[in-house]
Amino acid sequence: SQTIHQWPATLVQPVGSPLSLECTVEGTSNPNLYWYRQAAGRGLQLLFYSVGIGQISSEVPQNLSASRPQDRQFILSSKKLLLSDSGFYLCAWKNRGTYNSPLHFGNGTRLTVT
Amino acid sequence: RKEVEQDPGPFNVPEGATVAFNCTYSNSASQSFFWYRQDCRKEPKLLMSVYSSGNEDGRFTAQLNRASQYISLLIRDSKLSDSATYLCVVNYGQNFVFGPGTRLSVLP
């Protein structure tokens, strides 16, 4: 069966520090991968998605970047965190080859920028 | 207009009640539709996909009206464990757009 791992679960970082969040998927090949952010009390905002290695689409201009160095690995990064980067970051995958396939989320990383 | 809109909530209902959630979407090219539930400080989890003919999973029934761009979720005989935020999700292309969610509290 497919599983998705996301770490760390919680993170407290000072303003101006770098960020690296990692997500890996097991049990499937060629998934679509996604990064979402959920600010406190808000809905989910799509940040990036990827349909293949090295292919990244950005949905909103921001202080973050994403990379997909391997088929089942998705990394979210920032060179310098802002206070507004605080939130709940969620990685998700989708079976690319199946119509009507839903998203499956990792457990999320709760980031607090201080 | 937001891409996906939901009842603002919150809904506070007694155990055993029937509750309905509504959702509308603006992109007529949307291809697939889902309901997720999200518990406090947790990741969203798939509740059910929504099919054009309507579909049922136990106490949960989902309906889709493509002409009206409207999706609904009905929960019958609600349980305390149904308390959560319910998210309407619309997919087109590679994009999944989430509604803001409707919070449900089932009271003893």
Residue B44: predicted pLDDT: 97
Interface A:B, Cβ pairs < 8 A: 50
CA angle centred on B38, ends A50 and B2, rounded to 5°: 65
CA dist A16 and A114 (Å) reads 10
Question: Encoding tokens for residue B22?
Answer: 């509504």
pLDDT tens string A59-90: 776 789 999 999 999 999 999 999 999 999 99
pLDDT tens for each residue of B65-76: 999 999 999 999
Tokens of B24: 């509308």
Does A43 touch chain B if contact means CB atoms closer than 8 Å?
yes
Q: Flag whether pLDDT at B40 surpasses 80.
A: yes
What ranges make up the beta strands (E) of A2-108?
A: 3-7, 10-13, 19-26, 32-38, 44-52, 55-58, 65-70, 73-78, 87-94, 104-105
* Stretch A34-53: mean pLDDT: 92
Question: What is residue B105's predicted lDDT score, i.e. its pLDDT?
Answer: 98
Instruction: State yes or no: pLDDT of A98 exceeds 80.
Output: no
A3 at the B interface (CB within 8 A)?
A: no
CA dihedral B21, A39, A62, A107 (to 10 degrees): -90
Identify the residue with better confidence: A24 or B53.
A24
A104 closest CA partner among A21, A8, A36, A22:
A36
Q: Is the Cβ–Cβ distance between B43 and A106 less than 8 Å?
A: yes
DSSP string for A66-95: EEEEETTEEEEEESS--GGG-EEEEEEEE-
Among B32, B43, B101, beta carbon nearest to A108: B43
- Measure CB to CB from residue A100 to each of B32, B95, B98 and give the nearest one: B32
B2 to chain A: which residues are within 8 Å by CB?
none
pLDDT at position B1 over 80: no
Nearest to A32 among B46, B94, B100 (CB): B94
